[in-house]
Amino acid sequence: MPKYRYGLLKLDNELEFVEMPATHMYQLTALNRRLHKEIEKLTAGNIPKLPHMIAECDDLDVIDNACPVTNGLSYINSLEQSFASIQEKAYPLVSLLTEIRALQAQLEQWYEDEEG
């Protein structure tokens, strides 16, 4: 099994690859789908724009640096900050943040184990 998998995210006309541990990519894909399903229910004015996961792959050779490759933990940290800043009153945002933070904690542990 490959050590990493790559998710291709698309926001408007921008593409971005997220490098995830292969064992956790399915969680990122599921989280992305869940957030898209629930984001429409949020009523706050500062809802972040969320890219769509459009593909996953095992190997990646970036030829043109127009598509950045983002570390999975960095991506999740940024996602958590974006959702933590939402001033939502009509929808229980806690459940979405809990899912983001659960994956965040798993990735932190994974990277710690890899470095140690």
List the chain domain ranges: 4-115
Q: What is the pTM of this model?
A: 0.92
The string of pLDDT tens digits covering residues 65-74 is 778 899 999 9
SS3 40: coil
90 pLDDT higher than 80: no
Do strands 52-57 and 69-71 pair parallel, antiparallel, or not at all (unpaired)? unpaired
| Contact present, 51 and 43 (Cβ < 8 Å) | no
Is it the case that residue 12 has pLDDT exceeding 60? yes
What order do you get walking across the sheet with 14-21 strand by strand?
Answer: 52-57, 4-11, 14-21, 69-71
Averaged confidence pLDDT in the chain: 91
